[in-house]
Amino acid sequence: MAKSATIKAFPERNRRVDKAEAAERVRKIWPVLKKTYPNAKTALNFRNPLELLIATILSAQCTDVRVNMVTEKAFKKYKSAADWAKADLKEIESDIKSTGFYHNKAVSIKGACKKIVEQFDSKVPCTMEKLSSLPGVGRKTANVVLGNAFDKPAIACDTHVIRLSRRLGLSENSNAVKLESDLAEIVPKKNWTMFSHLLIFHGRNYCRARKPDCENCPIAKHCPAANDPALW
């Protein structure tokens, strides 16, 4: 089983996740998380699907705050997919440099925009199949765009979603694709996008990677990993 570098292996005694129990746990934690984070949404600033696509590509290994600083300027300069597609690669690199991994990100952005112009009539496509066919666009990025720019149910499995799903006993997988499929079975479809946001907010506020605040966590009574470092 593939493992993220930041995710510890689930101990053997808890490897098997009972789907019915996991679905019941989702039902119990959902209202608590909704109440705790009533304004949960993506922290990336965007006005249209193209801007969210670019911002999400830039957000890899970078904070949302930094991405927003970079895109505030960049979106004034590059207003369409064609603008990005025809721009000089070095110039894009320079404009996005502070987000890190700027060469690869510039290649992805330019390549994705070129394909959007040439094959999708200059519009960001709104299906998983087409979005994930764009250079540099993986399933997670596609799900962020589908869920937040197109209002389609989508589970974006970032590091928080993976970590919390495992601690909460919702999936034993650390592979993002398998974990997304596990969550899709136990979370009602209409809640997919918001459930990702809630786990991300909870991961930032209580269930942090190194030192989760189980003492004050509002869903601790439903969590099999509460106060058990062996399960973090």
Give the catalytic positions in this structure.
140, 158
* Beta carbon of residue 230, minimum distance to ligand SF4 (angstroms, whole number): 11
Binding of ligand SF4 at residue 226 (CB under 6 A)?
Answer: yes
Nearest CA among 184, 158, 156 for reference residue 171: 184
How many chain residues are in contact with ligand SF4, going by CB under 6 A? Answer: 13
Q: Which stretch binds ligand SF4 (CB under 6 A): 12-20, 45-53, 93-101, 212-220?
A: 212-220
Residues in 61-100 at the binding interface with ligand SF4, rule: CB under 6 A: none
Residues 111-170 that bind ligand SF4 (CB under 6 A): 167-168
To the nearest whole angstrom, how small is the minimum distance from the Cβ of residue 177 to ligand SF4? 23
The whole-angstrom separation of Cα 80 and Cα 124 is 10
214 binds ligand SF4 (CB under 6 A): yes
Shortest Å, Cβ 215 to ligand SF4 = 8
Contact pick of 62, 213, 229, 230 for ligand SF4 (by CB under 6 A): 213
Smallest gap, in angstroms, from Cβ of residue 218 to ligand SF4?
Answer: 8
Residue 32 makes contact with ligand SF4 by CB under 6 A: no
Instruction: Tell me the per-residue interface mask from 165 to 204 with ligand SF4, x by CB under 6 A, - otherwise.
Output: --xx------------------------------------
Nearest distance from C-beta of residue 4 to ligand SF4, angstroms: 17
* SS3 readout for the chain: CCCCCCCCCCCHHHCCCCHHHHHHHHHHHHHHHHHHCCCCCCCCCCCCHHHHHHHHHHCCCCCHHHHHHHHHHHHHHCCCHHHHHHCCHHHHHHHHHHHCCHHHHHHHHHHHHHHHHHHCCCCCCCCHHHHCCCCCCCHHHHHHHHHHCCCCCCCCCCHHHHHHHHHCCCCCCCCHHHHHHHHHHHCCHHHHHHHHHHHHHHHHHCCCCCCCCCCCCCCHHHCCCCCCHHHC
Q: Which range touches ligand SF4 (CB under 6 A), out of 48-56, 84-92, 141-149, 220-228?
A: 220-228
227 φ/ψ angles, rounded to the nearest 5 degrees: 55, 25
Residues in contact with ligand SF4 by the rule CB under 6 A: 167-168, 206-207, 212-214, 217, 219-220, 223, 225-226
